[in-house]
Amino acid sequence: GQSLEQPSEVTAVEGAIVQINCTYQTSGFYGLSWYQQHDGGAPTFLSYNALDGLEETGRFSSFLSRSDSYGYLLLQELQMKDSASYFCAVRDLGDSNYQLIWGAGTKLIIKP
């Protein structure tokens, strides 16, 4: 079957660094995406990893290890506005169609 695991909630302090992990099990893995969603808002795309390694975009970085079926999102210099839910989503090539399979999300709580 296909499954994604990520922590339901993570708490961190403003200005600190936090890592949100994601492990996955899929049949036709093609890449790992991360999306951010504020309460009541729409998911917004953060990053995509198709190959092993670290991708950096400003304060956010995303890492992928295909051999370990594992990835993480790293947020640096945390700001209060980073309080949101973060979803990992696997791009899976099933039946010749690129499906996006979503995790349940990690709620990031930032304390001053």
Partner 1 sequence: EAGVAQSPRYKIIEKRQSVAFWCNPISGHATLYWYQQILGQGPKLLIQFQNNGVVDDSQLPKDRFSAERLKGVDSTLKIQPAKLEDSAVYLCASSLYGNQPQHFGDGTRLSIL
Task: Rank residues 89 and 108 by Cβ distance to partner 1 and give the closer one.
Answer: 89
Beta bridge partners of 45: 35
User: Two tokens at 9?
Assistant: 């909630």
Shortest Cβ distance from residue 6 to partner 1 (Å)?
9
Residues in the site for partner 1, rule: CB under 8 A? 30, 33, 41-45, 48, 87, 89, 91, 95, 97-100, 102-105
For residues 1 and 112, which CB has a smaller minimum distance to partner 1 in the complex?
A: 1
63 contacts: CB under 8 Å, gap ≥ 6: 49, 53, 54, 55, 71, 72, 74
